[in-house]
Amino acid sequence: MAGTNDDSGDVLSPQATEKLIRLLAGSERYRLSSAQIDDRAVWIKRLDAERSPIAKRIHAWISPLIPFVSLRSSARGTASAMAQREARKAAAFRAAGFATPTILYQGDAVLVLSEVSEIAEHMLWRLRETDPEQYEELLVSMAAALGRVHAAGLCHGRPHPSDFFYQNESWGFLDFEEEPEAVMPLAAAHARDVWLLFLRISTFAMRQETVGRAFAAYRAEAPVATIPELRRVVSLFSILIPGLTMLKPFGLGRNGREILAMTRFMRAALREPEARTPARDIAKSVPKEPGYRDERP
């Protein structure tokens, strides 16, 4: 099927479609690749090119046993189903007023996407040295944007700075591979989104107060039903705090440090119904790793 999933009229020419079909035949091994078609950059995303990482498969197997629904895995499905899911979720985001890449071509397990403006993760690494003030504001702005997504009744699934792009003075979104809202209540899926994004924000932030400001910005936009579900997630991870604290002098690894810091932060941030704890105090435990860069699989 060739064409677009929105009303932009942005479609491939017959010559470009022929070229694309030839490219697809030679790109079966690559999950994500780029090409120049019709004098523009496009991204070819193959949902059938790679197996799911072993950690994700294990998470999916044990998910039915996890008592907290917000920590369960999103259903994976076939490559074809995942392509349809991504197209469906992208259409829902566009219908709600959020920019997404245009789907120029959709095959059984293939999506060809238009190029978008600069990705947030790239903006952050560019601004880190050149404009630290704008760098911190970008993190706060991303949190507020996720709140607006949730207020619109949508769920991203696995928000990360590599899934945000800035276009026409607002945030757009991409990479809709996960659909937790299909296997859990929407409020629980929203809590899952918050936890995942703030793991990244707390790592990227260079200033103590930024994480607290970002959470306040999220709460100002988000539906109130998310907060009780987020408290349930935090209550589970709070059980781990004594053990993680004891192990910290011996080395926890990046994931352990992030979970410990995030749990402490969220416990303090959610202690008051309106989250009025001073941002400087609730962000003190967030680790800062200036040289860290998250390489997302």
118-127 confidence digits (pLDDT tens): 899 999 999 9
What is the per-residue pLDDT for 96? 97
pTM: 0.82
Identify the segments of the chain with pLDDT beneath 70.
1-11, 25-29, 50-52, 272-297
Q: Do 62 and 52 form a contact (C-beta atoms < 8 A)?
A: no
How far is 77 from 206, CA to CA, in rounded Å? Answer: 38
Confidence at residue 83, expressed as pLDDT on a 0 to 100 scale: 93
- Sequence-distant (6+) residues with CB within 8 A of 270 are 227, 230, 231, 234
Closest CA to 198 of 286, 123, 114: 286
State the pLDDT at residue 27: 65
Predicted confidence (pLDDT) per residue in 235-244, tens digit:
888 887 788 7
Cα(55)–Cα(93) distance, integer angstroms? 28
Q: The domain at 26-114 falls in which architecture?
A: 2-Layer Sandwich (3.30)
State residue 74's pLDDT score. Answer: 82
Distance CA 8, CA 4 (A): 8
Every domain of the chain with CATH number 3.30.200 lies at 26-114
Residue 106 per-residue DSSP state: E
Task: Identify the pLDDT of residue 7.
Answer: 42
Q: How far is CA 166 from CA 67, 89, 214, 220, 261, in A?
A: 37, 19, 17, 21, 28
The secondary structure element, H or E, covering residue 36 is strand 32-37
